[in-house]
Chain A
Amino acid sequence: MAAEELKTGPLEYRTQEGQMGIMGFWIFLGAEVVLFATLFATYAVLYGRTADAPVPGELFEPGIVLIMTFLLLTSSFTCGLAIHEMRRGSVKGLTIWMSITLALGLGFLGFEIYEFVHYAHLGATMQSSAFWSAFFTLAGTHGLHVTLGIGWAILLLIQIRKRGLTNVTSRKFFIISLYWHFLDVIWIFIFTSVYLIGMVL
C-alpha cells in the first residue's frame, strides 16, 4: 500500500499515506468550521450585552484592524507562493516565502496583543461582560490558532532543511498551507461581522 508510489503529480499526493493525510486534514478543517461557527453564534447571541463595560463602538478603531487584515491577507498570498515554489521543487523559494509568511503572521499577532491590552486598559476585559467574554474568546481563539500555526511552521522549516523535499515533508507543508488559508478565511469573517458591524452599530 504505502509502497505503491505514483510517478507523476504533486509529491504530496503520490502515496496513499499522503492522500489520506490531506483528506483527514480537510475533514478536520470541517470540524474547525463548526468550532468557529459556534463561537460566531455565541458572539451574535451575546452581542450588545456589555453590562457596565464600554460598548464596542467606543473601542473599535478602523486603523489597527485594517493593518491586521492587510498583514494576514498578504501572509495568505505569500503562503500560496511558498507552495508554488514547493511544487517547482525549490526548497529555497519555499523557505523564503514561508519565512515571510511567518513574519507577517507575527506582525498580526503583535498588533492583536497590543489591541487586547489596549482594550483592557479602557475597561473591557474577558471578565467585564458577556459581550466582551464572547469577543475575546472568538478573536483569541483565532489568535491562538495563528500562534500554533507559527510554531508548527517553524518545526517544518527545520525539517525541510534536514530532509529536503520528500513525499512526507511536502505533505506537511501542503497541510499547513491549508491551515493558514483557513485562518485567513476565518479572519475575514471576524473582520466583517465583528469589527465592521461593531463599529457601525
Chain B
Amino acid sequence: MHITDILVTGEPIIYGAMVSMVLVGIALLFLLTYFKKWGWLWREWLTTVDHKKIGVMYILSALLMLFRGGVDAMMMRVQLAFPDLGFLNSQHYNEIFTTHGTIMIIFMAMPFLIGLMNIIVPLQIGARDFAFPYLNALSFWSFFFGMALFNISFVIGGAPDAGWTSYTPLSGAAMSPGPGQNFYLMGLQLSGIGTLATGINLMVTILKMRAPGMKLFHMPIFTWSTLVTSFIIVFAFPILTVALALLTLDRIFGSQFFTLTGEGMPMMWANLFWMWGHPEVYIVILPAFGIFSEVIATFAKKRLFGYNVMVWSMIVIALLSFLVWVHHFFTMGAGAFVNSIFSISTMLIAVPTGVKIFNWLATLYKSKIEFTVPMMWSLAFIPSFILGGVTGVMLGMAAADYQFHNSYFLIAHFHYVLIAGTVFACFAGLTFWYPKMFGHKMNERIGKWAFWLFFFGFHVCFFPQYFLGLDGMPRRLFITNVAEWLPLNVISTVGAFGMGLGFMVFVYNVYYSFRYSERETTGDSWNGNGRTLEWATTTPVPYYNFATVPYVDEIDPYLRMKEEGKTTYEESELKPIHMPSYTAQPILFMALLGLASFGLVFEWMYVAIFGLIGGVIMMIVRSFDYDDGYYVPVDEIKRTEKKARGL
C-alpha cells in the first residue's frame, strides 16, 4: 500500500491543516524536550488517577475540540456567505458539517461538562476521589483516543460525510464506501465506553461517598444534576453502543440490518440513533442547568429558590427525555397517531423546564446581584434559552414540523438551546470554578469582553437563521445563491466570526490570567460568597481534597461553617487518608483499543486483532493487580494544610 492511498490529497485547505498540525506537533515535542518536561508529563498527568487532574485534561481537550468544531463552523459560514467563491466543494462541505456536529456534541459538550463534574462533584459532596479512580482514568483515555481517532479522519482516509446523525442507507457500505463512516463508528464507540463508565462511576460516587449527614436532598444542585445525568447516560448509551455495533457489522462484516438488500430496514437506524440521541441532548443540558443554578444562587447571594422543585423537575425531564425520540423524524411517516403521541410528550417537557426558568427568576427576585463574568453568562442564558425553548415547542407540533423540518429554523432552534444552554454554561462553569482549579481567577475585564463578543456574535449569527428557515432554506445546503437568502446569510456569517473572536479573547484570557492574575490566598474565591463544600477547601486543592470531612445537614453547608468558624481542617480529628496509586494501565489499555479501532476503520484485521488481544491482556493484568493504594500520614496532612492555610 502506498502512502497516498491513505492520506487525503488534492485539497489546499487540508494541506494547510496538515502543515500546521505537524508544526504544532514539532513545537510541542521541542518544548517538552527543551524544558525537560517528559517525566513530569508522564508522572503527573498521563498516569494520574486524581479526579481534579483528569478533569483538567477533559476540559483542555474540550477547548481544543471547541476550536476544531468552531473552525469547521466558520468554514461553513464563509461558504454560505460567499457561495460563488468556490471556497469549499460539495464533498468537503458534507464532511465539514458532519465533523462539526459530531465533534461539538460528543467531543466538546460532553467532555467539557464531564470535566467540570470530575473536578467539582467530589469536592461538593466531601469525597476524597471518585468511587473508582482507575476506571475514571480509563474513561478519560477512552474518550481521548476516540477523539484522536475521529479527528485524524480528515487527513488520513477521509472524513465521514453522512451528517452527525449518520442516517442509513446513506451511511451504509453500499453508498459510503471507504473508511470515512468507519471513523465515525469507531471513534464514537471507543469514547462511548468511557462515557458509560463515567456514568456508573459518578452514580456510585454520589450515592456512596457523600459527607456524613448529607442526605440526597442536601446535595448541591450541580451534584444533583450530575446524578440525574449519570442515570440518563447509563440507560441511553447502551442503545448507541448497539446501534453503532450493528452498523459496523453491516459495513465491515456484511450483515443486513440497515441495508436496502436482504430485507434490511434503514429506518430502524433513525429510531435507534434518536432513542439515544434525545436523552443525549439532556445529558448535555441538565448539567448546564446545574451550573447556572449554582452561579445564580452564589451571585444573587440567596438560597436557590424552590430547591426541591428544581430537583424533581430534573428527574421528570430525565424520564420524559426517553419518550420523545420520534419528534426528530415526524416526516418519516409513522402516521398521525404515533406523531400525536410524541408531539404531546415533547411539549410536556416544556413544563418542568419552564418551572426551572421561574425558579431562577425567583432566586434573582429582590436580590443584590453581583455582575461577575459567570453571572453574566448565566443571566444571558435565561432569555436566550427561552427563545430556543419556545421554537422547540413550535417544532414539536407534528403538523407544523412538516414545514420546519430540516430547515434553518431547526438549525437556529438547536443552536439556541445548545449554545445558550450548554456552551454558556461551560464558560460560566469554567470561569466560576477556575480559581478552584488553578489558584487564580480569570481576569474579569477581559472576561467581559469575551462574553459580550460571544453573546452578540451568537444572536447575530443564529437569530437570522430562524427567518432563513421560514423562507425555506434547507439545512446541509452548500450552494445558497438564492438572492433573498443572501443578506441574512451574510449577517449570520458576521455573527459567527464575532463568536470566534469571543472565543479567542477567552483563550487569551487564560494566558493573561496565568501571567498577571492575583494568586488566591483563601479557598473562598468569590468575595467570600461560596455556599457549598468545594469553597471550603484551600486553593489549590490538596490532592486528598479534605483533611477532615465536615458534617453536613443542609444545602448550603459552607455558609453555616463560616458562621460557626469551622473549616475542613480540624487538627484533633486527623486520620491517615487512603489514596489510590497512579498507574500507567489506563493509557496503555486504551491506546491498544485505539489501535484496534484504527485497524477496524481501514479493515486491516491483523491490526484490529492485535489491538484487541492487547486489550484483553491489559484486562488480565488489571485483574491480577492487587495494588491497594497508600496512606497519607497525618504529619504530611498537617504540613500541607498549615502551609496552605498560612497557620
Q: Residues of A at under 8 Å CB distance from B?
A: 1-3, 16, 19-21, 23-24, 27-28, 30-32, 34-35, 38-39, 42, 45-46, 49-51, 126-134, 136-137, 151-152, 155-156, 159, 163, 168
Contacts and interface: CB of A to CB of B under 8 A. Distances in A.
Contacts of B199: 31
B75 interface: no
A133 B257 contact: yes
B511 interface: no
B633 interface: no
Contacts of B249: 126, 133, 137
**A-B residue pairs, 8 tightest by C-beta:** A49-B263, A133-B255, A35-B238, A34-B238, A38-B242, A127-B254, A2-B578, A130-B264
A30 to B, nearest CB: 6
A38 B236 CA distance: 10
Nearest to A50: B263
Given A23-B208, A130-B257, A130-B263, A155 B238 contact: no
A150 to B, nearest CB: 13
B235 A137 contact: no
B204 interface: yes
B325 to A, nearest CB: 13
B234 A19 contact: no
Contacts of B631: 3
A30 B234 contact: yes
B262 interface: yes
Contacts of B128: 1
Interface string B565-598: 0000000000110100000000000000000000
Contact of A23 (B204, B235, B262, B263): B204
Contact of A152 (B254, B263, B623): B623
A31 B265 contact: no
B254 A31 contact: no
Interface of B: 128, 131-132, 196, 199-201, 203-204, 207-209, 234-239, 241-243, 245-246, 249-250, 253-257, 259, 261-265, 268, 272, 275, 575-576, 578, 616, 620, 623-624, 626, 628-629, 631
Nearest to A166: B626
Given A1-B578, A38-B238, A152-B623, A127 B208 contact: no
Contacts of A50: 263
B204 A131 contact: no
Contact of B131 (A24, A127, A151, A152): A24
Nearest to A152: B623
A81 to B, nearest CB: 23
A23 B206 CA distance: 12
Contacts of B246: 42, 133, 137
A129 B263 contact: yes
B254 A46 contact: no
Contacts of B268: 42, 45-46
B578 A3 contact: yes
A30 B238 CA distance: 10
Contacts of A51: 256, 261-263
Contact of B241 (A35, A131, A155, A163): A35
Given A31-B234, A133-B250, 7 more contacts: A1-B578, A31-B237, A46-B257, A127-B255, A133-B256, A137-B246, A151-B616
Nearest to A30: B234
28 contacts: A2-B578, A3-B631, A21-B132, A23-B204, A23-B208, A24-B203, A27-B204, A31-B196, A34-B235, A34-B236, A38-B239, A42-B246, A46-B264, A46-B268, A49-B263, A50-B263, A51-B256, A51-B263, A127-B254, A130-B256, A130-B262, A130-B265, A133-B249, A134-B257, A137-B246, A137-B255, A137-B257, A159-B623
Contacts of A23: 204, 207-208
Given A1-B578, A2-B578, A129-B262, A42 B239 contact: no
A139 to B, nearest CB: 13
Contacts of A42: 242, 246, 257, 268, 272
Nearest to B128: A1
Nearest to A134: B257
Nearest to B196: A31
Given A155-B623, A155-B624, A45 B265 contact: yes
Contact of A20 (B196, B204, B238, B272): B204
A51 B199 CA distance: 40
Contacts of B200: 24, 27-28, 31
Contacts of B241: 35
Contacts of A16: 208
Contacts of B237: 31
Contacts of A30: 234-235
Contacts of A137: 245-246, 249, 255, 257
Contacts of A19: 208
Contact of B263 (A39, A127, A131): A131
Contacts of A132: 256
A102 to B, nearest CB: 16
A35 B240 CA distance: 9
B239 A20 contact: no
Interface centre among B209, B242, B623, B629 (most CB of A within 10 A): B242
A1 B629 CA distance: 12
Contact of A168 (B242, B254, B626, B629): B626
Contacts of B238: 31-32, 34-35, 38
Contacts of A2: 578, 628-629
B203 A27 contact: yes
Nearest to A24: B204
Contacts of A24: 131-132, 200-201, 203-204
A44 to B, nearest CB: 11
Contacts of B578: 1-3
